[in-house]
Structure 1
Amino acid sequence: MLRRWPHKRERWALLSLGGGLLLHSLWLVSLHVTHTGVMVPALIGMVLLALALWGAAWQRWVHSRAWRVQLWRWGRWGFALWALSVAAYFVWLTHIGTGRPVDQAPQAMVVLGSTALKGKPSPTLAQRLNVAYGWAQQYPRIPVVVSGGMDLGQTVTEAQAMAEYLQARGLSPQRIVLEEKSTSTYENLVFSAKVLRSVGVNQDAPVLLVTSDFHTPRAGWIAARAGWRNLYAAGAPTPLYLRYNAWLREYFACISGWLFREY
């Protein structure tokens, strides 16, 4: 005879965890943060809520056929292994630092774009720009490339929004070089290399790359594939309320980058 599942404590645990994941994801969506790292937790939350509410019926349906029992068992093991891989990736991110430290004066800086809504940088992008501004003050003669194309539904490119943000902070517009065609990290780095060559900086020159802290490993791998040979990384902190969703998105981005041979 099957043990009735879930029991009261299990149901409350599923409701609490599932509801928390779903509500947090919906809150981020309300802030116009919509990417894999938000949608996957939302989906997991909905599944947990469904199990809390209809777990007994699901259990009866699964156990009515032997092959369903086996498939359910494999699915649980697969999910557990996936969750362990995500946890291992998160632990790795906490220990890698923010990339190669700067030990010689860069000849240029490249700032990678992120979401810009209505011409305003997102909190993540604003952090990158704040870090870039600090480095621009330390090296006052180098050009600053802001890299990012047009987001879906927007009328201003990421690069334009970044340039306006830096100018509002006091950076001279003569130092800012726009790269407005890219739609991915790979394109950021390939197109920025072309822009830098047009101002006399080649890919052998020391260049400072500014991006988010969690993004520095993948950006470095892609840069190496794209021909950058003397790149330094400066990682900007990620706001806490976005951090783990951003890490999850980056987890999937690392997998897709490997599959599509971006590095």
Structure 2
Amino acid sequence: MMPVRVILTIIGSLMIVDCTILMAVDKVNFGSVVPFLVGMVFVAHGIFWRNIIRFICQNNWLSRLWYGLWMVFFIWLISFGIFVYALQQQIKQSAKPIPRVAAIIVLGSGTVAGKPTPTLAKRLDTAAPLINSQKGALVITSGGIGFGQTHSEAYIMATYLYDTYDIPLKHILQEGQSTSTAENLIYSQEILAAKGISIKAPIAIVTSDFHIIRAANIARHQGYVQPTMLASPTPLSIRYNAWFREYFAFVSGWLFGEY
């Protein structure tokens, strides 16, 4: 059986390499920094395992704390596994054909130099076939003006749909105030109401696969009765880091009463 120290060193090294690559291409966020730090702890335990064990065994209080922290970590790991399983089930559910809807809301995910990020582009690529197949549905792109930007994210999203899929700009309503998922859906309600569409009607919400559980819960909490989630794929290079980050965002949303 492979020693614990070797397992920790291997896992920690993989985490460090993965997160270093992401941070090197400007993906510095919770989903890359925290796993990087955890990886450092794992590698340190792997290299100095005997010294750590010898040190903590000299103090009963320190030993109990060390084992307690590992217990907390394993409990967290189980909860994270449950979250990932639930997320995968929801992703499978969202792959089913979308029924007729009254509106399609595409949630923002960031822009760079006036262009959608790869994650946002995937959302728009996923939304385009639905928009074309349900021409009677109201289309809303949702996202405010980011730091250093001159145009709202909603405008950049609408322009991308026009340039890439020839979807007329006049058919795309832009919600350009929001800075979060909750605001995306709150401000979109104003547009829906102005067009005579109730949030009790079936409404498609397009977002990334890792984000669909939280987005659906926020929508229902706000009064959307029939939200239909359409998930866009997350690039493999950032998928697991995105899931990790989303786990904490989900917990944070629950703590702050978003659902």
Structures share a fold, TM > 0.5? Answer: yes
- What are the Cα deviations for residues 140-191 of structure 1, in whole angstroms up to 9, with x where unaligned? 2333111112344544432222122111111100011111221211111111
Displacement after TM superposition at 1:86 (Å) = 0.9
Kindly indicate whether residue 106 of structure 2 is the aligned counterpart of residue 111 of structure 1. Answer: yes
Moved more, 99-108 or 39-48: 99-108
Quickly say closer, same or farther: Cα 1:54–1:153, change in 2 above 3 A: farther
Distance 2:61 2:187 in 1: 52
SS at match of 2:237: helix
Residue 213 (structure 2) aligns with: 217
Displacement after TM superposition at 1:213 (Å) = 2.1
Distance 1:246 1:93 in 2: 12
Displacement after TM superposition at 1:99 (Å) = 4.1
Aligned residues: 256
- What are the Cα deviations for residues 189-246 of structure 1, in whole angstroms up to 9, with x where unaligned? 1111112222332313322111122322221111111111232221112222222111
Aligned ranges for residues 1-263 of structure 1 at < 5 Å?
10-96=4-90, 97-99=92-94, 104-169=99-164, 170-263=166-259
- What are the Cα deviations for residues 47-81 of structure 1, in whole angstroms up to 9, with x where unaligned? 11222333343333322211000000101111111
Pairwise CA RMSD of aligned residues? 2.2
* Maintained 8 Å contact 1:112/1:185: yes
Distance 1:52 1:104 in 2: 52
Partner AA of 1:235 in structure 2: A
Distance 1:54 1:151 in 2: 45
Distance 1:19 1:173 in 2: 48
Displacement after TM superposition at 1:45 (Å) = 0.8
- Unaligned 5+ residue runs, structure 2? none
Distance 2:249 2:86 in 1: 15
Residue 4 (structure 1) aligns with: none
Distance 1:10 1:100 in 2: 40
Distance 1:196 1:211 in 2: 18
Displacement after TM superposition at 1:39 (Å) = 2.0
Distance 1:179 1:256 in 2: 25
* Maintained 8 Å contact 1:102/1:233: no
SS at match of 1:186: helix
SS at match of 2:218: helix
* Maintained 8 Å contact 1:98/1:234: no
Quickly say closer, same or farther: Cα 1:103–1:18, change in 2 above 3 A: closer
- Unaligned 5+ residue runs, structure 1? 1-7
- Percent identity, please: 37
SS at match of 1:235: strand
Distance 1:195 1:231 in 2: 16
Distance 2:20 2:149 in 1: 22
Partner AA of 2:122 in structure 1: Q
Please report the TM-score for the alignment, with normalisation by the length of structure 1.
0.88
Moved more, 30-39 or 221-230: 30-39
